Amino acid sequence: MQANLFEQQAANRKRTAVLVLVFLLFFAWVGFGGDLVLGLWTAESAGYRHAFPWFGIVTVSAAVGLTIYSWKRGAKEVLWSTGAWELIEPASENERMLVNVVEEMAIASGQRVPTIWIVPDPDPNAFATGTDPERAHVAVTEGLLALLPRNELQAVIAHEMAHVRNYDVKLMTLLAALAGVLALIADGTWRMIRYGRVRGSVGRGGAASRGGKKGAGPLIVILLIVWVVCVVLAPLVSRILAFAVSRKREFLADATAAQFTRDPMSLANALRRIEDAAEPTKAIKRGSAHLCIADPLGRRLNHRQGFVADLMASHPPMGVRVARLKAMAFKYEQTGVLADVD
Amino acid sequence: MFMTWVFVILIAAALLWALSAYNKLISLKGQTLNAWKQIDVQLKRRHDLIPNLVEAVKGAMEFERDTLEAVIQARNQAVKIQADALPTGGVKALAGAEAALSSALSRLNVVVERYPDLKATKNVTQLQEELTTTENRVSFARQLYNDTATTYNIRQQQVPWNLVAGFAKAELVELWEITDDTEREVPKVDLSMKSK
């Protein structure tokens, strides 16, 4: 079991590395691809020749800088956008219980106690965020605190701590940061293309097309089209990617949570209870939906299975999650072995 | 010449492996000791809590002297044993003492249930949440220790890791096994008074 957890962490580290690489390559393609198109375009012209890849260098360094910045700021940003407040000194019995439960789960998972936040929202939900396990944050809504009995609250916190422990939180924060920068770049390029086209047609007229060789013409056009399509579609693809990663991680976090509490049934019950309180969590915005234990947007998509649901839902269908947990609980009772069932 | 090089490379590879295996065992040992320390902390918390609990319920429970007496006895016994228990020895004795304390505590809880006035006191409510969390902490610390210790034990006995085990001064550690049958039946204490 322990080994399994470490394997999961290693797999997530690898995933993180691949993700960073893919995004870096993409940023490079957006930048240097632009250089290439412009270079070919102006290769034969008498005036300005685009020889030095300024776009590439500027885009990549700006993208890396922005990503690092928003990765560092990410956790705080998410918490801030939900209006959460930090629970330092528990005032009520429920808050005392929450602090106790989080500390218990920190022991069970062998990690440092995360910072605890309370989101002022009557809908039951919870999420974890942070850049690494040493600086993790766990947030629950007031609705969750009021709704769940102790053992189910424990199961939910265990699920969040599992996300922290499996390095999901780190991966998701990074993914969110990268996707944000990508959206920014796509938006910027889109504006530049439109602005550039207007300027180009008025100013230089057909100079560029006259300058290009006949053979190079179609190549440039194809390159340009591919480049524009890439830039425009990137944000959508990155969102689909984020959801795909998130859905995979939910199952694993459920299983890991059961290993922490040795009580899969409580998590199944908690999920049911959260599901039944069907109100969308208003305090949690679209951008951080994939961090939550249940989809805060209350979308019907998450209840279905199928292609579109597979592509665009941030969480696996609740029914499937509950069924898997119940199967785990049954097997645990029968054999005393806690294993994930497929 | 060729054979010499093959030989040198093989030896270098073996040395590198031995180094990493050594480091891995040391880190597992560290994790095990760390998990044990966690148990220690949580047990101490439990032992410190009991006098408070007894103090809070004493007044209202004059007739239940025996039950209270049993809890205090079991607690003192556990404190004494805890002082010199280590992963490599004494885990079993400590597990036994703590199990005895657990069953004394659960008897006390049954008694407390019979006094609605007592249960309604804010102080007692708080203490019961304290007790619940402490019991959970002990059992989760135990769980973590057992998992870590099992990995450590298995690893140091496996071939070829056992060749390095001596250098890393790896010793088998005792698991915290539940000896008491009643303890095995009721692993969870839920005293929270929330409606289900």
Minimum-distance CB partner of A2 among B140, B151, B195: B151
Angle at A214 between CA A213 and CA A218, to 5 degrees: 110
Question: Residue B140: pLDDT above 60?
Answer: yes
Q: Please tell me the distance from the alpha carbon of residue A264 to that of residue A257, in angstroms, as a whole number.
A: 8
Which of A129-133, A188-192, B168-172 shows the lowest per-residue confidence on average (mean pLDDT)? A188-192
In this structure, what DSSP letter does residue A114 have? Answer: P
Cβ separation of B140 and A260 shorter than 8 Å?
A: yes
- Do the Cβ atoms of A136 and A171 come closer than 8 Å? no
Mutate to test the interface with B, among A104, A105, A145 (most CBs of B within 10 A): A104
On chain B, the residues whose CB falls within 8 A of the CB of A2 are 147-148, 150-151
Q: How far is A96 from chain B (nearest CA, A)?
A: 9
A274's tokens: 């959260």
Split at pLDDT 50, 70, 90, the class of A269 is very high
pLDDT confidence band for A295 (50 / 70 / 90)? confident
- 3-class SS of residue A123: coil
Please report which confidence band the pLDDT of residue A300 belongs to, taking 50, 70 and 90 as the band edges: low
Look at B133 and A110 and tell me if their CB atoms are within 8 Å.
no
A111-145 pLDDT tens trace? 899 999 999 988 888 999 988 888 899 999 999 99
| Count of CB atoms situated within 10 Å of the CB of B10 | 10
Which token pair is B181? 């049958």
Please report the DSSP string for B55-122 in residue order: HHHHGGGGGGHHHHHHHHHHHHHHHHHHTT-BTTBSHHHHHHHHHHHHHHHHHHHHHHHT-HHHHHSH
pLDDT in tens, B13-36: 999 999 999 999 999 999 999 899
Count Cβ–Cβ pairs < 8 Å, chain A vs chain B: 57
Instruction: Express each pLDDT in B63-95 by its tens digit.
Output: 678 888 889 999 999 999 888 888 888 888 888
Q: Are A290 and A172 in contact (CB under 8 A)?
A: yes
Tell me if B133 and A108 make a contact (CB, 8 A cut-off). no
Residue A18's identity, in one-letter code, is: V
Q: What is the pLDDT of residue A316?
A: 80
Out of A90-94, A291-295, A301-305, least confident range = A301-305
ipTM over 0.85: no
| Residues B99/B185, Cβ–Cβ less than 8 Å | no
pLDDT, tens only, A321-330: 888 888 888 8
For residue range A157-186, list pLDDT tens digits in order. 999 999 998 888 888 888 878 888 888 877
**What pLDDT is stored for residue A168 in this prediction?**
85
Instruction: Encode A31-63: b = buried (16+ Cβ within 10 Å), e = exposed.
Output: bbbbbbbbbbbbeeeeeeebeebebbeebbebb
> Quick check: A45 pLDDT over 80?
no
For residue A8, is pLDDT > 80? no
Average pLDDT over residues A264-268: 93
The full DSSP string for A184-243 is HHHHHHHHHHHHHHHHHHHHTTTHHHHHS-TTHHHHHHHHHHHHHHHHHHHHHHHHHHHH
Give the pLDDT of residue B192.
59
Which of A285-289, B24-28, B91-95, B137-141 is predicted least confidently? A285-289
Q: Is A127 helix (H, G, I), strand (E, B) or coil?
A: strand
Place of tokens 């097997």: A331
Q: What is the mean pLDDT of residues A292-298?
A: 75
Q: What is the mean pLDDT of residues A267-289?
A: 77
Q: How far apart are CA A17 and CA A308, in angstroms?
A: 28
CA distance B55 to chain A (A): 21
Residue A287, pLDDT above cutoff 70: no
> Burial code of B144-180, b = ≥16 C-beta within 10 A, e = fewer?
bbebbbebbbebbeeeebeebbeebebeebbbbebee
Dihedral sign (CA A73, A91, B46, A150)? negative
pLDDT-based confidence at A12, cuts 50/70/90? Answer: confident
- Choose the mutation target among B136, B137, B142, B145 for the interface with A, i.e. most A CBs under 10 Å: B136
CB-neighbour burial class of residue B140 (10 A; exposed 0-12, middle 13-18, buried 19+): buried
With CA atoms as reference, the chain B residue closest to A105 would be B140
CA distance A281 to A271: 15
User: Quick one: pLDDT band at residue A199, thresholds 50, 70, 90?
Assistant: low
Query: How big is chain A, counted in residues?
Result: 342
Is residue A87 predicted with pLDDT exceeding 50?
yes
| Nearest residue, CB atoms, B147 vs list A1, A151, A263 | A1
Residue A144: strand, helix, or coil: helix
Return d(Cα A300, Cα A315) in angstroms, integer.
11
Check: CB of residue A250 under 8 Å from CB of residue A321: yes
Nearest to A97 among B141, B192, B195 (CB): B192
Q: A195: how many CB neighbours lie within 10 A of its CB? A: 10
Name every chain B residue with its beta carbon within 8 A of the beta carbon of A101. 133
A337 vs A326: CA distance, rounded Å: 14
Q: Please check whether residue B144 touches A, CB under 8 A.
A: yes
**Mean pLDDT over each residue of chain B, to the nearest integer:** 84
Q: Residues 6 or more apart from A267 whose CB is under 8 A from it? A: A152, A155, A156, A158, A159, A254, A257, A258, A261, A325
Which residues of chain A make contact with B42, given a CB cutoff of 8 A? 107
Mean pLDDT computed over every residue of chain A: 80
Looking at residue A304, its pLDDT comes to: 54
Find where tokens 């204490």 sit.
B189
Position B189 confidence tier, pLDDT thresholds 50, 70, 90: low
Candidate from A27-31, A153-157, B129-133 with smallest mean pLDDT: A27-31
What pLDDT, on the 0 to 100 scale, is given for residue A277?
77
In the block, residue with structure tokens 């009995």: A149
Q: Min CA distance, B66 vs chain A (Å)?
A: 31
The pLDDT score that the predictor gives to residue B15 is: 93
- Whether A107 and B147 lie within 8 Å, measured CB to CB: no
For the cut 70, the answer to whether the pLDDT of residue B182 exceeds it is no
The residue of A5, A107, A145 whose CB has the most chain B CBs within 10 angstroms, and thus the best one to mutate to test that interface, is A107
Q: What is the predicted pLDDT for the residue at A265? A: 93
Question: Residue B140: which of A3, A107, A151 has the nearest Cβ?
Answer: A107
- Locate the DSSP E strands across chain A: 85-86, 115-119, 126-130, 136-141
More confident residue, A7 or A205: A7
Banded model confidence at residue B44, pLDDT cuts 50, 70, 90: very high
What is the structure's pLDDT at A288? 66
Annotated catalytic sites of A, by residue?
160
